[in-house]
């Protein structure tokens, strides 16, 4: 079950050699009749994943509603913190802004969290089921991305009403909607947050080619990520040099950055620069995930296949 207790790897099996590349694993293929056919294929994957996700909508909606209750305790905790401090502002955040920030990080995490993605990739490697992506004109990363978009669409559609209700109740913590350019930047930061989260976790999952079981690594990474992404509190509250270090790392884009964009705390060229940096991290993790995938396939043994 664990990386340290991993099963020894075997040479590349017959299955991979049948690809005609000798000791080279077959390249993950996206072919299937041109870009239009390829788009139709991934649209179909999206549709199937969406239907699957909506099957348990009652259970899903119930779970979403329940998630709001810890938000109540968080609001109460921060109220007690501000009252105890006797200050109106902590780390550049007034109490209202702090609550708004913590509410907005829930939206950020709604986009950037990828439950089960890395563990799923590692399971495909460990159980040998990864071969289905090698023998079909289907790219693993493309397939997972289409499925994940479907899951997010389903989740966001179902969570929209409860979240709209929550934000309506908590409207007193916000200064209304930001202007159109800020809203556009916020929407872009959320889309990029989704992509950073996806490719980051896919990268962790690809480590499964070497360790087979990544759950343990994942627990550590995700536990740490919960704090350093700014989900628990704004990074600005941390002392230097920690705040400075965390603002250079990509994790802030998964919770902190979209929230401060909405609150108008990052503006002008600073905003453009950070959006460019967020895009840079998307590309960096995408390249890393693909590189690890290609390298990993060279040592893949198709256990259980």
Interface positions with other proteins (CB under 8 A): 1-5, 56, 59, 62-63, 66-67, 69-70, 72-73, 76-77, 79-87, 90-91, 216-217, 219-220, 223-224, 226-227, 232-233, 237-239
Residue 60 or residue 303: which is nearer to other proteins going by CB?
Answer: 60
Task: Report d(CA 160, CA 60) in Å as an integer.
Answer: 12
Least distance (Å) between residue 69 CB and other proteins: 5
Cis peptide before 241 (omega within 30 of 0): yes
Least distance (Å) between residue 218 CB and other proteins: 10
Task: Report d(CA 22, CA 14) in Å as an integer.
Answer: 10
Look up residue 291 and give its two tokens: 């590189």
Least distance (Å) between residue 130 CB and other proteins: 23
Look up residue 4 and give its two tokens: 């340290």
Contacts of 274 (CB under 8 A, 6+ apart): 257, 266
Residue 227 or residue 303: which is nearer to other proteins going by CB?
Answer: 227
Least distance (Å) between residue 91 CB and other proteins: 7
Residue 76 or residue 164: which is nearer to other proteins going by CB?
Answer: 76
Q: Which of 204, 30, 28, 225 is nearest to 109 (CA)?
A: 225
Least distance (Å) between residue 14 CB and other proteins: 32
- Secondary structure class of 232 (helix, strand, coil): coil
| Helix (H) / strand (E) containing 72 | helix 57-85
Q: Which of 53, 5, 166, 16 is nearest to 100 (CA)?
A: 166
Least distance (Å) between residue 68 CB and other proteins: 9
| Helix (H) / strand (E) containing 94 | strand 93-94
Task: Report d(CA 105, CA 134) in Å as an integer.
Answer: 38
* Dihedral sign, Cα of residue 275, residue 102, residue 116, residue 11: positive
Residue 21 or residue 77: which is nearer to other proteins going by CB?
Answer: 77
In whole angstroms, what separates CA 140 from the centre of its chain? Answer: 17
Residue 57 or residue 267: which is nearer to other proteins going by CB?
Answer: 57
- Secondary structure class of 267 (helix, strand, coil): coil
Residue 213 or residue 278: which is nearer to other proteins going by CB?
Answer: 213
Least distance (Å) between residue 70 CB and other proteins: 4
Residue 145 or residue 218: which is nearer to other proteins going by CB?
Answer: 218
């Amino acid at each position: 079950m664990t990386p340290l207790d991993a099963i020894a790897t075997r040479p590349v099996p017959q299955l991979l050699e049948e690809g005609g590349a000798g000791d080279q694993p077959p390249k993950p293929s996206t072919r299937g009749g041109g870009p239009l056919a390829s788009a139709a294929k991934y649209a179909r994957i999206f549709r199937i994943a969406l239907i699957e996700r909506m099957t348990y909508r009652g259970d899903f909606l119930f779970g979403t509603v329940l998630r709001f209750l810890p938000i109540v305790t968080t609001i109460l905790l921060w109220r007690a913190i501000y009252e105890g401090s006797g200050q109106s502002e902590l780390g550049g955040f007034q109490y209202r802004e702090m609550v708004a920030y913590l509410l907005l990080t829930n939206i950020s995490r709604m986009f950037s969290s990828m439950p089960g993605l890395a563990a799923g990739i590692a399971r495909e490697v460990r159980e040998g089921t990864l071969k289905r992506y090698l023998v079909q004109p289907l790219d693993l990363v493309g397939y997972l991305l289409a499925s994940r978009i479907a899951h997010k669409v389903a989740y966001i559609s179902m969570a929209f009403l409860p979240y709209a209700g929550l934000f309506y109740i908590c409207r007193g913590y916000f200064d209304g909607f930001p202007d159109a350019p800020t809203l556009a930047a916020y929407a872009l930061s959320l889309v990029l947050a989704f992509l950073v989260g996806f490719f980051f976790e896919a990268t962790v999952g690809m480590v499964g080619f070497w360790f087979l079981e990544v759950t343990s690594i994942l627990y550590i990474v995700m536990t740490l990520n919960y704090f350093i992404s700014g989900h628990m509190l704004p990074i600005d509250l941390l002392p230097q040099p920690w705040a400075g270090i965390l603002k250079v790392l990509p994790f802030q884009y998964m919770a902190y950055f979209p929230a401060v964009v909405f609150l108008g705390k990052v503006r002008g060229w600073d905003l453009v620069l950070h959006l460019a940096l967020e895009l840079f991290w998307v590309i960096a993790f995408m390249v890393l995930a693909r590189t690890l995938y290609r390298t990993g396939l060279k040592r893949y043994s198709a256990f259980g296949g």
